[in-house]
Structure 1
Amino acid sequence: MRYAITLTLVSLCAFSGKSFAEEAKPAAGGDSFTAGVGLAYVPEYAGADKSRVLPLPFLEKTYANGFFLSTQRGIGYATEVDGFKLSGALGYNGGRKDHKENYFSGSDALKGMGNIEGAAQAVLSVGYQVGTVGLSLTTKQNLGHREYGSTYTLGLEAPLYTSATDQIGFGASAEYGDRKHMQTYFGVTARQSAASGYKAYTAKAGFENVTAGVNWSHVIDSNWAVRSVLGVSRLTGDAADSPLTKRKTTPMVMTALVYRF
């Protein structure tokens, strides 16, 4: 569905309303800078029957006024109004290659489907806390390639265990894709069918996937923290029925070491 690294960050980090940068100590109202590196086990594309382990380096600069620069979240602004957490950012979707360029990119299972080009995205999110449960709604709107469509993701997070050094939580999300998005990533046109051998298929708007997982954050000291996630993603609706989908249910694993100062 998406460039592998983008898919990893979106799917696995969606289990928590916090970014990598928030796993270490709070910034005490000031600016902060976070650096880290992780490893993730993810499919070559949504619905692929092959997976791979990818490195996930990331950087994030957060300012006290709410602005942030992040390889994870893009360039944006976050604030809180009457209990609602609001954020808007300019991000980037790396697209999808129809052949395996190297170990990190593309899949030969998509030969003949054509490339999905990378595009800038507007990422808008609103969150609200109900007791200990966090709820969120995020939309991603393509700016460079409007024909690729948009997605809307409902998220939920809840703590399971908390101590001075460890936090374990549960997260779940459901992603809805509009008609253009679903056709781009899961549909097969007559021309693509002739080139790839897949049968022609029209994907309609609907819920694309549901994802659930458990995340564990361990604080080593005032600067260092480790974050791990174990989850599973299940394609639904027309995404699950697409001829491109070889495996509907996919396990995903990630671990990352974070340093904040």
Structure 2
Amino acid sequence: MKIRKRLLLTLFICSSAFQVAVAQETQAALVPLPSIDDFSKGKDGWSFGLGVGIEYETAYEGSDEFGLELEPAGGLQWRRGNDVFYWVGEAIGWRGLRADTWLFEALVGFDEGRAENDSKKGYLDGLGESDEGFELVLQSRRAFDSDWRYWLVGRVVTGGNGNLGLFGVGRRFGEKLDGSGSEVNIVAVFHDSEYANKDFGITAEQAAASGLAATNIGGGFRSIGINYNYRHYVSDNWQIYGEALYEHFSSAVRKSPIARGDFEAEVGIGFIYMF
């Protein structure tokens, strides 16, 4: 009888230890959000993911033309505890988790601007090339609890072409804490006049060259948007991800001749292999 009790106790301890190990493994992601790349698998040091995705999206801000585009996916990361430094595409940045419910992020990215040939139908002819440049993005999310089921989000984009800000709320679906599952964010977007005219303004010189009416847009409300993200681990090293975005422009933006559509939208899917 004593041997059986000891055996049962040993099995119980081993089972509990296994459950704890599994629980720790499922919390490997810095935050359990599908929109946040995390290739670290809970380990400090370097990690690397490489993949490819395909997107179906509008050709430029305000366009009513759509097309398919291949995009690289993944990135290089270095993690130490609750801090991750990363290099993804044309952006380099940092994100950090504080007090289990605050996620802060700062990155520098490159804005490729807009070219006349972005419109295959010639709607941008005469408008010239918009300026390329670097942008600073500052973002924070505040979860209502440590499992990141609901949160508030705020983001500021600033650089040589004005300023943009968004504020919204998010909701995570699924029970796993490894970054898989899905999430949805609903946001309101605002811009200053410089940023607004970067995408939708038409100077007198551009109007003369293009035949479009000169347009100057003031700062304020830009759009309301909804974004959906999905991530699933096919195996220990392979993951599939998806994203869908819809942004409906304000009446002030829709008055611009550049805004041939009332919205911007994109849908994408891809695979990433984690080394």
TM-score (norm 2): 0.77
Amino acid corresponding to residue 150 of structure 2 in structure 1:
V
Are the aligned partners of 1:45 and 1:107 in contact in 2 as well (CA < 8 Å)? no
Amino acid corresponding to residue 159 of structure 1 in structure 2:
R
Are the aligned partners of 1:17 and 1:134 in contact in 2 as well (CA < 8 Å)? no
**Which among 125, 133, 141 is matched to residue 119 of structure 1?**
133
Structure 1 residue 48 corresponds to structure 2 residue 63 = yes
Amino acid corresponding to residue 183 of structure 2 in structure 1:
G
The C-alpha deviation readout for 1:172-200, integer Å capped at 9, x for no partner, is 22321111111121111111111111111
Are the aligned partners of 1:73 and 1:89 in contact in 2 as well (CA < 8 Å)? no
Amino acid corresponding to residue 54 of structure 1 in structure 2:
E
1:11 paired residue number: none
Structure 1 residue 157 corresponds to structure 2 residue 178 = no
> Sequence identity of aligned pairs in percent?
21
Structure 1 residue 260 corresponds to structure 2 residue 274 = yes
Amino acid corresponding to residue 45 of structure 1 in structure 2:
Y
SS class of match (1:194): helix
The 3 A distance-change label for structure 1 pair 62 and 155 is farther
The C-alpha deviation readout for 1:84-103, integer Å capped at 9, x for no partner, is 21121221111111234xxx
Give distance in 2, aligned partners of 1:73 and 1:156.
27
2:103 paired residue number: 85
Structure 1 residue 60 corresponds to structure 2 residue 60 = no
1:1-261 alignment, distance < 5 Å: 18-19=35-36, 21-22=37-38, 26-65=41-80, 66-72=83-89, 74-82=91-99, 83-100=101-118, 108-131=122-145, 132-142=149-159, 146=160, 148-162=161-175, 167-261=181-275
Q: Which runs of 5 or more residues in structure 2 are unaligned?
A: 1-32
RMSD, aligned CA: 2.4
The 3 A distance-change label for structure 1 pair 130 and 37 is same
The C-alpha deviation readout for 1:89-148, integer Å capped at 9, x for no partner, is 221111111234xxxx88731111121121011111111111411222111111xxx2x2
Are the aligned partners of 1:98 and 1:107 in contact in 2 as well (CA < 8 Å)? no
Displacement of 1:67 in angstroms is 4.7
Q: Which runs of 5 or more residues in structure 1 are unaligned?
A: 1-15
SS class of match (2:236): coil
TM-score (norm 1): 0.81
SS class of match (1:159): strand
Report the number of matched residues.
Answer: 236
The 3 A distance-change label for structure 1 pair 17 and 205 is farther
Specify which structure has the bigger relative contact order, considering alpha-carbon pairs within 8 angstroms and separated by 6 or more residues. Answer: 1
The 3 A distance-change label for structure 1 pair 77 and 256 is same
1:6 paired residue number: none
The 3 A distance-change label for structure 1 pair 74 and 231 is closer
The C-alpha deviation readout for 1:216-238, integer Å capped at 9, x for no partner, is 22210111111112332211142
Are the aligned partners of 1:231 and 1:253 in contact in 2 as well (CA < 8 Å)? yes
Give distance in 2, aligned partners of 1:203 and 1:73.
29
Are the aligned partners of 1:58 and 1:70 in contact in 2 as well (CA < 8 Å)? no
Give distance in 1, aligned partners of 2:168 and 2:41.
23
Give distance in 1, aligned partners of 2:257 and 2:53.
32
